[in-house]
Structure 1
């Protein structure tokens, strides 16, 4: 494998790993400080990263990120924004024709195998990115709910209150406060990226139009 050809993925994989480790260490110190303040037992690193307290923090961030991408991928099929490199050009709304998508009889010799066939395999492959993002979002959201229920009940137990079920927690204000505060920030970031990229540039970035392209011209129109 030539590292240069996969540098973007490798850089983000490394950055992700470092920030996750950093979160676990900072979270452990914060957790133990809170435990000590209440006269409770502190934890070591292994105990903390396998605890519901750590899992719920990670899962609620993951689910919001994949919700953002799921919604953005779906929205860009049907909606356009003139001038944004994050959008198809006006008039190209929808899933596109078989010819445009190089599927079936229009597939190239080196096209993916499932792009050359018809039936359920073509449908699955044609929507595989959205399906995968949606699946990770739902699984992360479920992990957040399960871990969140444990953390929430632990806090209630400290106050001598009764535990609640997973279903009750998913209808609670705590669950939706955790969820919506992440969703709104992710949607704000995506919306800003779409709008800012109409008028602002970053030379050399695939997420930007060429510097000299007019504001009202979508990047695909400049090809």
Structure 2
């Protein structure tokens, strides 16, 4: 396989991940400038770029956003198992069975069948729920990292006001932690709701996220 063919076959992931890297770098550079501006305004010495990358302020900004993204995707994967939206390209058709509902234990097994399906048992149970498991594990890890880095940033701000620092678990109980989380969570589910409803009536030719342009509004999936 040539590199050009490989790149074409993996272009969606490659481009989206490249955009992540670009915007992550932009966030780091701009956040570094904002942080040092704030330091100078409070009569404190600026810090170096790599020191900023290891700071609670940067970690908190990163992980509070990752947390909401992984929650959104994990919840969406699970909710679309049970819930439908008539006419939406994001929903299974009402009252119809789709291939995703098929029991893999009844599938015809071949050499290209994923190993957990061929093995069965515990490994199949994990594998048939692995997409949701992945996102919820990443969500949980992001929550803990948000709490740890947020506690460091929160304690730094408290120290500037002559107050004692807080630990990670104590920070989890503060309104500051939940404000940071909820302001991201609400926007993620608003975006999902907008996509689900908009795909009933609006189209994007060529995108698998859209129904065919000529499809009736009431046609689901």
Structure 1 unmatched ranges of 5 or more: none
* Counterparts of 2:77 and 2:210, CA distance in 1: 18
CA contact (8 A) 1:27 1:54 kept: yes
Residues 43 and 119 of structure 1, relative CA distance in 2, 3 Å threshold:
same
Q: 2:157 aligns with which of 134, 155, 158?
A: 155
Which residue matches 2:175?
A: 173
CA contact (8 A) 1:85 1:209 kept: yes
- How many residues are aligned here? 215
Runs ≥4 residues deviating over 6 A:
none
Residues 93 and 142 of structure 1, relative CA distance in 2, 3 Å threshold:
farther
CA contact (8 A) 2:203 2:211 kept: yes
CA contact (8 A) 1:77 1:93 kept: no
1:145 aligns with 2:150: no
1:205 aligns with 2:207: yes
Q: 1:54 aligns with which of 48, 54, 58?
A: 58
Specify which structure has the bigger relative contact order, considering alpha-carbon pairs within 8 angstroms and separated by 6 or more residues.
2
Cα displacement (A) at 1:165? 2.6
Residue 116 of structure 1: SS of its match in structure 2?
A: helix
TM-score by length of 2: 0.93
* Counterparts of 2:108 and 2:170, CA distance in 1: 50
CA-based RMSD of the aligned residues comes to 1.5
Matches within 5 A, 1:92-171: 92=96, 96-98=101-103, 103-109=104-110, 110-171=112-173
Cα displacement (A) at 1:120? 0.6
Structure 2 unmatched ranges of 5 or more: none
* Counterparts of 2:138 and 2:86, CA distance in 1: 30
Residues 34-77 of structure 1 show CA distances to partners (whole Å, capped at 9, x for unaligned) of 00111112112111112111111000000000000011001001
